[in-house]
Structure 1
Amino acid sequence: MLRGAFRIVRRFGTWPISAYLLILALATSIPITACAAFLAYHFVAESSQYRKVEYEDRLRLMRNATELRVANIIEDLQVLALSPSLADGRFTEFRDHAIDAVKLIGGVAIALYEPNGQQLVNTRLDLGTPLPKRVAFDAERRAIETGRPQVSGLQKAVVDGQPIVTIAVPVRIAGQIRYALNVGLSPRYLSTLLDDYVTAGLVGSIIDQQGLLLARRPLLDGDELIGQPTIPAVRSHLGAASAWWIKAVSRSGIATYTSLLRSDQSGWTVNLAVPRDAIDGPLHRTVEWIVALTLFTFALGMALARLLAHRFLAEFSDLERYVSGLQAGVAPPRVGRISEVNRMKKVLYRVGGELASALRQQRDLLDEINHRVKNTLGTVQSIARLSRASAGDIDQYVVAFEGRILALSEAYNLLTENNWVGADVRAIVDRTLAPYAGPDRLTVSGPGLLLPPKLTLALSAAIQELSTNAAKYGAFSTPSGKLDIAWTGDESDVVRLVWIETEGPLVRKPTRRGFGTKMIMAMFGSEAGWSVDLDFDPRGLRCTMQFRVGDEERNEVRLTG
């Protein structure tokens, strides 16, 4: 491909740099796009399908567990219906058997009904208590009429009106259906059926034939949702044998995919809702693969770019030789194969006569650089001398000297970023304190003030020394310590900066002045109208510096001592 591109270039003459870059972009972006698209599709499709199958199986297990529990209860009731005491009309004795059975099942109560709805036995009522006649007992009536077990929807208990569902079986005596025997189950009982299948992040529910919630996990506001209609997205599919991956929004506002299965045994619908992010989330996992692929293709692109770079190298090497010979005077430039390079050669040829003036500007620039280098070397010399005087041994001296040189370098970086016009007080404070404290321990306030270069260096050095002292002995030496820095400025260009440390260790006034104290006193106590006050308050060091922002020459600060 590359050789073909070069043959096209040789055939049609010079091309712009953009044409070469386009070839490089095509050579790298096409494989990146193709590979990324393939991997994204593959991993998303595979992961999403796996999760869907997993949740579908979970829903089936929920439905099967519900049906198995109902089947077990029906068997228990059918065994109880065969009790001899019931056939002989010994209802008091039968009541004792029913009490044991309801405890075994875990239901609310077991009741025995005549076909007209009159209760003959109710395990929740004491012996001798008049038993009520029930008007609404559809499940029990159907059990008597059909001779088959029946499961009700949500209804209210006759005794206390609490929400329950009932499971009823017919009672045959001498081959004839005489009664209906039922057990009442509370919604909380049904909710326990969901505990093993509805894990964190999922929503599971059991819904009766009328679309009312019988059980839900997790519960919201206790049991208040029991008896409430299910959400519209689910209600619209009630009666269907199954419905899969319906887009819905849960009661807590989470976008979900919800699926449901209907139980032919009970008529109930079992529902399981999964956050859409759990299904669509596999896309996120492909990001790592795409990043790795991007890195690989980037390396491939670099290799291809190197091949193309040989063409650029030849042209720019020729340009370099031409520029190097301009001062001595050269012949008109030779035309190459890159049009932009050819234009640069022509421009340089025309302006060759102006190089002499440009060399004078370079001399002026070198003079300015020499001046700043001398000042910097003088500052470094003073730092070295003062650090030696305050250091206890050579290791302490090296650490202190290195830290101060790095602080001076950071101040120079700040000035360089601002083209040596100066630096704002906040930028100086933020840049210097960044290694020592975050916003949770540091309070900075003050107006925007631009300091000239020399004053920038001085303030940076002072704050660096105060920060180092705070890290060793002051507020930054403990996790609870805090620092407040504030400054003000007035119309007379006087700046007042206050450094206050709090919640640190107990402060004691030093017995001798170290490097930091000497340096700060030397810088801010040597000019008229400038002052510095160090208050070794036991609650925390307080330092107040006052200086004037005026003429650059007046603000030249030197380290002495």
Structure 2
Amino acid sequence: MKKRLFLLATAALAPGVGLLAINEVTYRAEREREVHRMAQQASRQAASEIERLIEGMDGLLIAVAANAAVSAADPQACGMALAAVAASVPSIRVIFLMSAEGRVVCDSAGSSAGQDMSDRSYWKEALTADRSVVGEYTQSRITETAVLPIARAIRDNQGAPRGVLATGIRLDWLGERLRERGVTPSGALTVADRNGVILARHPAPERFVGTRIPDGFQHLVRAARPGTLDLVSQDGEARIVGYQPVGLPVPGIYVSAGLARSEAFAAIDRSSLIGAIIVGLGAILTFAAAWFVGNAFVRRPIMRINDVLAAWRRGESQRRTGMRTAHGELESVGHAVDELLDELALREEAAARAGEQRDLLTRELGHRVKNLLTVLQAIARQTFGPYVDAERSRIFSERVVALSSALDVMLSDEQREGSVAEVVATTLRPHVDRMSRIQTSGPLVRLSGKVALALSMIVHELSTNALKYGALRDGNGVVKIEWTLDANGRFSFLWRECDGPPVIPPDRHGFGSRLIKRALPAECNPQVDVDYLPSGVVLRLSFDVGERAAPPQSASAAAG
């Protein structure tokens, strides 16, 4: 019952737990989509910021190129003009002008005139481009710092390049500027050139700037369109990252922005933890209540009823539960049990009184029947005495005595039954002088009154025949009587005569033979086999008793 209460409590909790699980899955899926949108938006914002910076650098180069000193390529005047511009722009450290042959004409630092820059890719691209070009990660030869070069060609009236004006955005300044634009502490931002070399990185810029994006993510740098994905960043943090490939929207620049899953899902994780704690506490309280209710209001009343029933089986007929119907359903059952036990007690008392009266009547009937048999025996002796053979008269008297003895056996027990040993011993009582040659053995088996009477008549006929013709005729023969009872309630009885005079099979069957084969009632399914062996008569008798033998208690004896 307690287990069923626990199952009922589990069934009651299941909808709440299921609803919590559904909400958890729904909220997480929705948050997943939202975080992907936020990561994409963050990458677009960072790319837009870099695009504005590059546009600003492009405007700066256009304005500087329009300066007369720069346009005239006068080294001294050009250097002073460029120094004035560089001092007012914190994102750069140097601006320099290169000739069409790739040599430095002047610079804002005033120290690099004549230096060859023709190996720089941005110089080559700027000569052929009609706009500003963005270079690659570069270690500046002038300032010896890492920069992102931006260059623009200066052309004459016919459009031929007269030189290239270049500058470089400081990468330390670029990283700081991007972080100031809203990168979360656990978020990530990566800016790389067209070759995948990192220009700015948060977090740990000192570790990653100047290194190449791992090959497993290089395909994102040259992807056909922006997108998002889940990944574990190089710093070991699981993030949802939005990325903008090179040229979309900034030429030559790759941008990615990531949001840490731990931070993005912190609110949902807290809510899930609180929900789980609440459900857990609810489950504990529910199961505790089920245990208490099951123990106090179910188990105890049931055990109380069981104890009373067990005591009643042990014979403690006065035990009662004492329950009342007003206290609950199980108490109503206990009250009904009490009423049933009261009714059974009354019936047992009435049955006992009826049994006493029946026993009194039975004993009186037995007494009168025995008196009747005695009168019958006397009448027969007086009526047939002078005219009937004395031997036949004696046999008739012994049969009446056997019938009276069997009646004694039946009436000696309260249940009007007789044990096989008692029936055999009582029936053979007239042969007391020969009892030393009669051996009996078998378990204690009780027979109903009708069956005991029939067996008594059969044993009497067998003993009479043994006395007249068989083993008991002289002083050497022995009679062995054995019986058994199998597990199916089939009783087997064996009468065997030994060491007597030779047996001659009868040429006809008289009353005794018919009595032996027909004495038992048909409902017992009797089977009788008689063998007239030269060494002695053997009778095998079996019939259904319907009950087992009593505990192993041998009734065997060599009477005498």
TM-score (norm 2): 0.50
